[in-house]
Amino acid sequence: MSSRQPNAGESLLNARRVVVKVGSSSVSGDNAGQIPHLVSCLARLYAAGAQVILVSSGAIATGVPFLRLDERPDDLATQQAAAAVGQNILVNRYQRALSAHEIIAGQVLLTAHDMENPTHRGNARRSIERLLQLGILPIINENDTVATHEIRFGDNDRLAALVARLMGADRLVLLSDVDALYTAPPMMAGAERIEFVPYGDPLDGIEIGEAQSGWGTGGAATKVQAARLAADAGTAVLLTETKLLSAVLDGEPHGTAFEARSPDESLG
């Protein structure tokens, strides 16, 4: 494991196609006010010439208060109802922020079945590709209104990695409410930020999981799995905190970077 880290901000600003995934906790509830900040970062990438795809969680969390519920529902039907309301509100919040930059969003909702079925997968690729060609910023989420427990992606980190692979993105940014991957829970004495993960590094000796990760719900495990899934397809990955993305674009060294597999490197 190396401490060397490429300049992530410069790499992102020079990228051809970037997928950015943001977690529910970063764009809903008290943190809904972070959306304009996130959008301003996407606009910087867009202005630099990158094609930008946003994978955003948050539909259910956004919809819950509008259903006059005190907490996230446990039953699937109410979760689906919350998603139906929340997705509409969430995309409208994004579009209001994007309009200040004269960018139009296009909503794309996918299920795990769509990514597994070759016909559906091809349709999704063509649709997203055409949106990008037309200068539209696709906002992708799992279609929680129709998805069931049996066919869900399980986590939008995986969805983002699959979208990055599908669309041949050269960069994937996984945003959450923790700034990086650490060698131990960040609050523990001696925990150190992992700046750079070379391709294929097994991260031996690093405890990765929901309870030990410091990533909150979902855990670092899903982030690492998604990063490796994307890296295997040649997409470099950055894990960092939503509010630090602007600083990263300014050249500051935040987050954890995962090296992509080189084109001539065997998947073995």
Alpha helices in the chain (DSSP H): 8-13, 24-27, 35-47, 59-63, 76-99, 112-116, 118-133, 156-167, 210-213, 219-232, 245-249
Q: Is 243 annotated as a binding residue?
A: no
Give 2's pLDDT tier (boundaries 50, 70, 90): very low
211 pLDDT exceeds 80? no
Q: Is 24 annotated as a binding residue?
A: no
Q: Is 14 annotated as a binding residue?
A: no
Q: Is 57 annotated as a binding residue?
A: yes
List, for residues 82-91, the tens digit of each pLDDT value.
Answer: 999 999 999 9
Least confident of 63-67, 108-112, 138-142, 244-248: 108-112
Q: Is 176 annotated as a binding residue?
A: yes
What pLDDT does 215 receive? 31
Inter-residue contact 41 to 101 (CB < 8 Å) = no
Give 188's pLDDT tier (boundaries 50, 70, 90): confident
pTM equals 0.90
CA 56 distance to own-chain centroid: 7
List, for residues 127-164, the tens digit of each pLDDT value.
Answer: 999 999 999 999 999 887 777 664 466 678 999 999 99
What pLDDT does 203 receive? 84
Q: Is 7 annotated as a binding residue?
A: no
Choice between 209 and 144, residue whose per-residue pLDDT is larger: 144
Least confident of 171-175, 192-196, 248-252: 192-196
User: What domains are defined for the chain?
Assistant: 16-258 (3.40.1160.10)
